[in-house]
Amino acid sequence: MKYLFICCIILISSYLYGQTSPTELDKSPMDMSYFPINYPIQRIQGKVGSTPVARVTYSRPQKKGRTIFGGEVVKYNEVWRLGANESTEIEFYQNVKIGGKKISKGRYTLYCIPSEKQWTIILNKDLNAWGAFNYDVKKDVLRTDISIQAQTDVVEVFTMYFDAIPNGANLIMLWDNIKVVLPINV
């Protein structure tokens, strides 16, 4: 009986004190974008039968009145994780071409080196990274330069999405008054 009582106390204590409390709402929530666009919904509706071409997973920081590029948030000519928190990851479910180079299907970390006129987009083999603190250039799979497009509208929250084009998709990246387009061919 004494043994049963002790077991009950331990179980009750572990239940009461073992529960974790929910985390606070992240200031830069994680988001995911697919190509084809809305792939999970299309799959549920039976409109697609194959795997998607690509998926990007990233966190969405907010402008909040700050100077973003070349200022206090994203430094020019330094590696940036393309978002906040964990490094942005892109997964290709089939072989693709970016900047004329064949990229094997798989998952990659997506970085960028922004400057005033262009961004150097980087695919890297090091996964599950936080920020760009441990970025290793030796693990780069691709580097390609793309021009930035200044916009009149200001985008408050960093946004990435795919836009269908013939033979592939453009990965659109928007934040502040900057738009960058990365063509991905299938």
Within 8 A by CB and 6+ apart from 145, the residues are 118, 119, 120, 121
- Identify the residue whose tokens are 């929250």: 157
pLDDT digits (tens, 9 = 90+) for 77-114: 999 999 999 999 999 999 999 999 999 999 999 999 99
Question: Is the Cα torsion angle 101, 105, 106, 107 positive or negative in sign?
Answer: positive
Q: Where are the domains of the chain?
A: 29-147
Tell me what pLDDT residue 126 has: 95
Burial class, 144, CB count within 10 angstroms (exposed 0-12 / middle 13-18 / buried 19+): middle
pLDDT digits (tens, 9 = 90+) for 18-60: 556 666 777 889 999 999 988 888 888 988 878 899 999 999 9
- What predicted TM-score, i.e. pTM, was given to this entire model? 0.85
Within 8 A by CB and 6+ apart from 51, the residues are 93, 94
How large is the average pLDDT for residues 159-174?
A: 97
CA neighbor of 54 nearest in space, from 162, 181, 146, 159? 162
